[in-house]
Structure 1
């Protein structure tokens, strides 16, 4: 099992090395890139906004309840600060990335797997096209560029969801929540969130691409590869988060 895992890991790095080359034709690459931006980024707007509103609302309510139950008096304004910190440090980069791993990862793996079993990738190779570069590089660049925008949107919308939760419940005022949001936060926290987002974006684009590119068989195997791609993408996201947290925040 360990040997199989190491072989798969080696194949993954070889495939990424093959894909990380200059595009053979810039105009074709640009068209593919814009298509991937639409498929992998813009089409995820609704899901990110919907999830972030409720995550922000639940986070703010939980913070308020914990502060209210504390034996020490904690100002209500700290609800805004705590919600902002939790969203920036953990919920938006990690939870949204895990959700995108399911949505985007399954799409990448299934679409590339279908191309593999229908011999479209073989046809590209026969024509002398670097199929890995042609298919994978636009996905990597589109995801790495667009995912930070989605995470930033998630943070803003999540804070807005927390504000709306306070207005709906009457637990805190606009002034209290705004004061908390404006409290100072170390720049390292923002860098940490950005680094995580970029690493997660790379994983979301490349791991499913590997499973889709290397699938063999028929439609049943494509479905299995899509499921495996989502599972392993989530596993690598969680493991990489542990490593990044230790390296950046320790």
Structure 2
């Protein structure tokens, strides 16, 4: 009986959380189009989110390209299909692996940072002070961060994918003496707009999800220092789950569109 009650409570809590995040997103869209616009703060947040995550994304992308190529090569060698490595690696990274892995890495870096920052401001009553002074903290703190993460994540994914292909080309150059020019000629011959466009579109949704959940958890943080840690941790967990859901929906819709 207690297990059943606990299950019902968990389900109720889950749907309540989903409803609260939906209302939070609705408020974002309502506030986003109403002046005044915080362009200066938006640029600062773009710098914080983009520039400070760049090195992490580049290292992740480079290692991803190295490992993926090293793991794929032995299997393809058994079938004499080494010439397919540039095409397979490039399509796999650009369409699926690159955006998802980099989005998950960014969720840990960006989502937790936003959740901890806004949570600290809520705990120390800085947000309350802004409301009392007549400033709109939601527009200044939340809208700018969500827009910045939505704009910056596609750029980070482009950089990460590019570095991944460089890492893959390096492995091919060392293992099979394939020149970089030949490698990237095969890459560009294999890639089509149907590979790039869906990945680019869903990367905007990944960025929006990271900013939205991070801001929601931080802005509605519980009182106390424990609440800041919980908000930061929950932002990463929720965002990671949401990224997989968005990716599934994007792949499903893309498959239907291109089949038609």
Q: TM-score, normalised by structure 2?
A: 0.88
The Cα offsets for residues 109-132 of structure 1, whole Å up to 9 and x where unpaired, read as 000000111111112222333322
2:225 is equivalent to residue 219 of structure 1:
yes
Q: Is contact 2:107-2:210 (8 Å) kept? A: yes
Distance in 2 (alpha carbons) for counterparts of 1:123 and 1:19: 21
Distance change in 2, residues 1:16/1:128 (3 Å): farther
Distance in 1 (alpha carbons) for counterparts of 2:68 and 2:108: 23
Q: Can you give the 5+ residue segments of structure 1 that lack an aligned partner in the other structure?
A: none
Distance in 2 (alpha carbons) for counterparts of 1:38 and 1:178: 31
The Cα offsets for residues 76-100 of structure 1, whole Å up to 9 and x where unpaired, read as 3311111111110112100000000
Distance in 2 (alpha carbons) for counterparts of 1:171 and 1:196: 36
Aligned to 2:124: 118
Q: Is contact 2:99-2:203 (8 Å) kept? A: yes
Distance in 1 (alpha carbons) for counterparts of 2:177 and 2:64: 17
Matching residue within 30, 44, 48 for 2:57: 48
Distance change in 2, residues 1:165/1:157 (3 Å): same
User: Is the deviation greater in 94-103 or in 174-183?
Assistant: 174-183
Aligned to 1:15: 24
Query: Cα RMSD over matched residues?
Result: 1.7
After superposition, where does 1:21-170 map in structure 2 within 5 Å? 21=31, 22=33, 24-26=35-37, 29-70=38-79, 73-74=80-81, 76-170=82-176
2:203 is equivalent to residue 197 of structure 1:
yes
Distance in 2 (alpha carbons) for counterparts of 1:126 and 1:6: 32
Distance in 2 (alpha carbons) for counterparts of 1:166 and 1:3: 52
Q: Is contact 1:80-1:179 (8 Å) kept? A: no
Q: Is contact 1:117-1:218 (8 Å) kept? A: yes
Distance in 1 (alpha carbons) for counterparts of 2:70 and 2:182: 14
- Cα offset for 1:62? 2.4
2:242 is equivalent to residue 242 of structure 1:
no
Q: Is contact 1:80-1:177 (8 Å) kept? A: yes
Distance in 2 (alpha carbons) for counterparts of 1:179 and 1:78: 12
Distance in 1 (alpha carbons) for counterparts of 2:84 and 2:15: 47
More helix by share: 2
- Cα offset for 1:171? 5.7
Distance in 2 (alpha carbons) for counterparts of 1:111 and 1:54: 30
Aligned to 1:177: 183
Q: TM-score, normalised by structure 1?
A: 0.91
- Cα offset for 1:234? 0.2
The alignment covers a number of residue pairs equal to 245
